[in-house]
Amino acid sequence: MKQLLDKNSALKLIFVCGARPNFMKVAPMFREIFKCNNCLKTNKIEPILVHTGQHYDYEMSEVFFKDLELVKPDIHLGIGSGTHAEQTGKTMIEFEKVILKEKPDIVVVVGDVNSTLAAALAASKLHISVAHIEAGLRYYDKKMPEEINRLLTDHISDYLFTPSIDASENLKREGISDDKIFFVGNIMIDSLIANKKIASQHQTISQFNLEKNNYVLCTIHRPENVDNKKNLFKIMNSLNEISLKVPVVFPIHPRTKKRLQESNLLEKLQNEKNQLIMTEAIGYHDFLNLEMNSKLIITDSGGIQVESTALGIPCLTLGNTTGWTDTISQGTNTLVDIEPPKIIAEALKIFDGETKVGNCPTFWDGKTAERIVNVLIKNNFSN
């Protein structure tokens, strides 16, 4: 049985983030911990933030810390780009040094990026408890590197904080014991609710000369969509066709931009007489403003599927599967095959008024971080 901390000890947590989606999941945890520490009379929680540097572009990283009012990282590993093996291996080597120096009680990882798996592996091998926020999501497609990261991280974690009932059931089917599984809700909604008012005050749509509810917002970054030239061409052809009728705003992920340049698609699209507005990746508040005011979102991002459902904006997810099943069954999300006729037809249907109406799933209430902190206190502090 694990030894509970006495009243004079602090619970030391290392939070690991490495990519843009991670920051939105970590920020609510730090807000809740600081709030909780002000209330605790004895035990305190000592959080340490480690940024692996998997995303090193300013708009993909530092600007998010500013927008989310997230504390600056205590430790920056500076891993940078590379193959999956290079990123995972380098992160394990550098993060192991951090663990040995800091001696945390728990390593907290979020999402499904390479940093998530690497940190979980390093901690587990040193017999440090691992908590996985956003556990249990399954796409059932092992060609996706993120799916491998999810599976392995979940099976070596001690606390599995799930965003949905479906995610909890996935873990149970895989043989993970009930006492490790905690259905706490969607941590991304905590960030959304905390930042919605600020984002609404931004003038982002005016800066792009857009009209509210009269444009499409699109993001693509998944390897299966951008590294496959045939798939990338299909998606960009669809966006070009849609933009002949309505404006399409396309903040370009660095990975996607590189592939577009390699395929000579970027220059070609820029020379077309369309309404395709291609821009660099933008900050959280500006992007949220674009989401809130759009008529339709086209994406392959799990986080944006979630945000669109919370905002009540129709979303077309490019692909045949998603781990965010509740955005399909309860929310505004629709899966669409990447064949251009399918994408174009589904998009134009929405502009013709055939809009899917959805509801927010259980525990999408901005209190997920609070529930997670309560679990950690209950399981680690003696009365």
pLDDT of residue 226: 93
Specify if 356 maps to a domain: no
Same domain as 205, residue 133: no
Count, residues in the chain: 383
d(CA 336, CA 347): 10
Q: 279 pLDDT exceeds 70? A: yes
Tokens of 237: 């052809």
Report which of residues 350 and 68 the model is more confident about.
Answer: 350
Tokens of 11: 């619970």
Same domain as 319, residue 227: yes
pLDDT of residue 101: 98
Q: 251 pLDDT exceeds 50? A: yes
Q: 252 pLDDT exceeds 50? A: yes
Confidence of residue 374 (pLDDT cuts 50, 70, 90): very high
Residue 297 belongs to domain spanning: 195-351
Report which of residues 6 and 173 the model is more confident about.
Answer: 173
As for how many domains the chain has, the answer is 2
Same domain as 203, residue 173: no
Same domain as 199, residue 175: no
CA 40, 43, 46, 47 torsion-angle sign: negative
Q: 37 pLDDT exceeds 80? A: yes
Tokens of 134: 């956003």
d(CA 89, CA 69): 30
Specify if 82 maps to a domain: yes
Same domain as 181, residue 117: yes
Q: 58 pLDDT exceeds 50? A: no
The CATH number that applies at residue 97 is 3.40.50.2000
Specify if 245 maps to a domain: yes
pLDDT of residue 20: 80
The mean of the pLDDT values for the chain is 92
Supply the residues annotated as catalytic: 221
Paired residues of 49 in beta bridges: 15
pLDDT of residue 61: 61
Give SS3 for 92.
helix
Kindly write down the DSSP assignment for every residue of 349-361, as one continuous string. Answer: HHHTT------PP
Same domain as 204, residue 181: no
Q: Report percent pLDDT > 90 for the chain.
A: 77
Same domain as 163, residue 141: yes
Confidence of residue 1 (pLDDT cuts 50, 70, 90): very low
Same domain as 237, residue 171: no
> What pLDDT digit, counting tens, does each position of 357-373 carry?
899 999 999 999 999 99
Instruction: Find the mean pLDDT for residues 250-277.
Output: 89
Specify if 100 maps to a domain: yes
> What pLDDT digit, counting tens, does each position of 325-341 carry?
999 999 999 999 999 99
Specify if 359 maps to a domain: no
Confidence of residue 381 (pLDDT cuts 50, 70, 90): confident
pLDDT of residue 82: 87
Q: Report percent pLDDT > 70 for the chain.
A: 97
Which residues have a Cβ under 8 Å from the Cβ of 182 and sit 6 or more positions away? 159, 160, 161, 162, 371, 372, 375
Which residues have a Cβ under 8 Å from the Cβ of 170 and sit 6 or more positions away? 136, 137, 138
Q: 108 pLDDT exceeds 90? A: yes
Same domain as 113, residue 34: yes
Same domain as 162, residue 260: no
Alpha helix (H) residue ranges in 201-262: 204-207, 223-226, 229-243, 254-262
Same domain as 281, residue 141: no
pLDDT of residue 116: 97
99 membership: H or E segment, kind and range: helix 84-102
187, 346 contact by CB (below 8 A): no
Q: What is the pTM of this model?
A: 0.92
> What pLDDT digit, counting tens, does each position of 78-105 carry?
898 889 999 999 999 999 999 999 999 9
First-to-last alpha carbon distance for the chain, in angstroms, is 16
> What pLDDT digit, counting tens, does each position of 132-190 carry?
999 999 999 898 899 999 999 999 999 999 999 999 999 999 999 999 999 999 999 99
User: Which has the minimum average pLDDT: 122-131, 140-149, 341-350?
Assistant: 140-149
Specify if 2 maps to a domain: no
